[in-house]
Chain A
Amino acid sequence: MNAKPRWLMFVDALSLILFLAAAAMVLFYAPTERMMGEVQRVFYFHVATAWVGMLGFCAAGVAGIAYLRTADLKWDRISLAAVEISLVFFFAAIVQGSVWARPSWGTWWTWDSRLTTAAIVEMVYLAYLLLRQGIDDPERRARFGAIYTLAGFVSVPLTFISIRLLRTIHPVLIASGESTGGMNMTSEMVQTMVFSVITFSFIFVSLMARRVQLGRLAEQVEQARLQAVE
């Protein structure tokens, strides 16, 4: 078993520091939004977690393609790690979205195009986990997982377009509006948002590396077990 790689420790520490700094910026540096008040502060981490979620799902799709081309199980571990982390972050983004939506739109949930797409994206990747659970052979699991992430990667933008189209054809429903639409951001706000996005990208990298490492260790344990059985 290899010791913790040094760069990983560094990334872990850096993400922690950045996270504290970002939290401080969100709470103290960014000005209070005039229209929405304090609750608007949830916006910064909302954008950042959603960004990480999207990043992860894209990474999973790319890793899926890489797996199909190389048949190297390393890509499968990366793909799975990205999906698991993104599921959690995306869910956090949805929850923060509803916390924000409640006072500003007067409802926890609206069938707005982004929210709805986000919910469907969660379903796609939950289905991915269920698919993996039903397969014992690691290679087949990796192959099918890769195909499914690829299909999800393509269908999600189509889903977004179709829901968008749905709302523009029925303009009545658009009243609930776009998530960033009505907001005039000051430069402090923009800085805080960008900083949060960078911070969460680091957190994502650090979690990813950990999860991939965990997958590798699990494989080593399995290998040792198999050797012991023989």
Chain B
Amino acid sequence: MGRETSSAPASFISAVRAVVWKDLAAELRSRELLSSMLVFALLVVLIFNFALELDPQARLTATPGILWATFVFAGTLGLNRSMAIEKDRGCLDGLLLAPVDRSAIYFGKAISNLAFMVIVETVVLPVYSLLYNVNLFQPGLLLVILLGSVGYAAVGTLLASMAVQTRTRDVLLPILLFPLLIPVLIAAVKASAGFLAGLPLADVAPWLNLLLAYDVIFIAISFMVFDYVVEE
């Protein structure tokens, strides 16, 4: 695998920025992806409300789980859509024709997917706080949500770019993604619960470390294998 950097005129960073700018500009105009993610996320929150009959007691323990299930489900919607845009009109080929490193394309897509996740989360959190009268705006919790979302976007972008090239496409993504996400899910739920229950940092630290380790490992793996995902 020849890594092509020196001769490429567009630097790695500017290529990543171009991809992110392109995704955000297109989304700002159509709002297709974000609106469907948001509506879906709110529906998931509502469904949990009825499915679990959340009384004030249950709410406290169930909140982290509900939040993460919501993010994970809404996230797959966004990932699928974001990769389908690239595949449907041959745009992925257009990206690959550009004289930039393939991993710049990966990071561009991963960062815009992360941005969509974060936007959805910033809407869901206040709505959830309002509906269930819990204060979710705690710096620790926000950190956990960010770390979890980074891991999610890192693996999700890699797997979505594979899933979109299969016959079963969007059906396949959650099946591929969820078993690999278990560590993120466990760590994020536990860390969120820890912060919400006001546990000391030392109790939450192992979970934060695990999230961080997952993020680093999967970003590194995606960086190494993305060439194989897009090149025939």
Chain A in direct contact with chain B (Cβ < 8 angstroms)? yes
Name A's B-contacting residues (CB within 8 A). Answer: 68, 120, 123-124, 127, 130-131, 133-136, 139-140, 143-144, 146-148, 150-152, 154-155, 158-159, 161-163, 165-166, 169
B85, CB-defined interface residue at 8 Å: no
Range, interface on chain B: 20 to 34
- Given contact pairs A131-B176, A159-B182, A154 touches B206 in the complex (Cβ within 8 A): no
Nearest chain A CB to B25 CB, angstrom units: 30
> Do residues B232 and A140 form an inter-chain contact, with CB atoms below 8 A?
yes
* Residue B172 is within 8 A (CB to CB) of chain A in the complex: yes
Cβ-neighbour of B228 out of A134, A143, A152, A155 (below 8 A): A143
> Is B131 part of the contact surface with A, judged by Cβ < 8 Å?
no
Q: Could you list some 20 contacts between A and B, CB below 8 A?
A: A120-B179, A130-B168, A131-B176, A134-B169, A135-B165, A136-B167, A144-B165, A147-B158, A147-B225, A151-B158, A151-B218, A152-B180, A155-B218, A158-B210, A158-B214, A159-B182, A162-B182, A165-B190, A166-B190, A169-B190
Number of A-B contacts (CB under 8 A): 93
Residue B207 interfacial (CB < 8 Å):
yes
Taking the closest CB of chain A, its distance from the CB of B229, in whole angstroms, is 7
Given A130-B168, A154-B217, answer yes or no on A163-B186 (Cβ-Cβ < 8 Å).
yes
Cα(A195)–Cα(B58), bound, Å: 51
Q: Could you tell me if B180 and A162 are in contact, using CB atoms closer than 8 angstroms?
A: no
Hey, which chain B residues are within 8 Å of A140, CB to CB?
Answer: 165, 232
- A124:B186 contact, CB within 8 angstroms: no
Docked complex Cα distance between A155 and B176 (Å)? 12
B180 touches A131 (CB 8 A): no
Known: A120-B182, A135-B166, A140-B165. A154 touches B225 (CB 8 A): no
Complex Cα distance A155/B151, Å? Answer: 12
CB-contact partner of A150 in B166, B178, B225, under 8 A: B225
Q: Which residue of A lies closest to B186 (CB)?
A: A162
17 further interface pairs, Cβ-Cβ under 8 Å (given A144-B229, A169-B203) = A68-B225, A68-B228, A124-B179, A124-B180, A134-B166, A134-B172, A143-B229, A147-B228, A150-B221, A154-B217, A155-B179, A155-B180, A155-B182, A155-B183, A158-B217, A165-B187, A165-B206
For the complex, what is the distance from the CA of A49 to the CA of B172, rounded to whole Å? Answer: 29
Cross-chain contact B155 with A162 (CB below 8 angstroms)? no
List chain A residues, Cβ under 8 A from B158.
147, 151
Query: Which residues does chain B contribute within 8 Å of A155, judged by CB atoms?
Result: 179-180, 182-183, 218
Determine whether the beta carbon of A130 is less than 8 Å from that of B172: yes
A84 CA to B77 CA in the complex, in Å? Answer: 30
Whether the Cβ atoms of B217 and A134 lie closer than 8 Å is no
User: What B residues does A150 contact at CB under 8 A?
Assistant: 221, 225
Shortest Cβ distance from A170 into chain B, in angstroms? 10
Chain B min CB distance to A199 (Å): 30
Given contacts A135-B166, A154-B217, contact A162 B232 (CB under 8 A): no
**CA–CA, A136 to B163, complex, Å?**
13
Assess whether A162 is in contact with B187, with CB atoms less than 8 Å apart: yes
A127 touches B207 (CB 8 A): no
Cβ–Cβ contact A151 & B182, under 8 A: no
B232 contact set on A, CB distance < 8 A = 139-140
- Complex formed: what's the CA distance from A123 to B158 in Å? 19
Give B11-33 interface residues, CB cut-off 8 Å to A.
Answer: none
Q: Would you call B97 an interface residue if the criterion is a C-beta within 8 Å of the partner chain's C-beta atoms? A: no
Contact, CB under 8 Å: A134 / B213: no
Which of A120, A134, A165, A166 is the most central at the interface, judged by chain B CB atoms within 10 Å of its CB? A134
Q: Does B54 contact A (CB under 8 A)?
A: no
* Interface status of B51 (Cβ within 8 A of chain A): no
Does A151 lie within 8 Å of B210, measured CB to CB? Answer: no
Contact present for B225 and A159 (CB under 8 Å): no
CB contact under 8 A between A130 and B183, given known A158-B213, A166-B190: no
Whether B207 and A134, one on each chain, are in contact in the complex, defined by CB atoms closer than 8 angstroms, is no
Q: How far is the CB of A131 from chain B (nearest CB, A)?
A: 6
- Contact among B166, B183, B229 with A147 in the assembled complex (CB-CB below 8 Å): B229
Give complex CA distance A159, B213 in Å.
Answer: 12
Min CB distance A10 to B, Å, is 38
- B162, CB-defined interface residue at 8 Å: yes
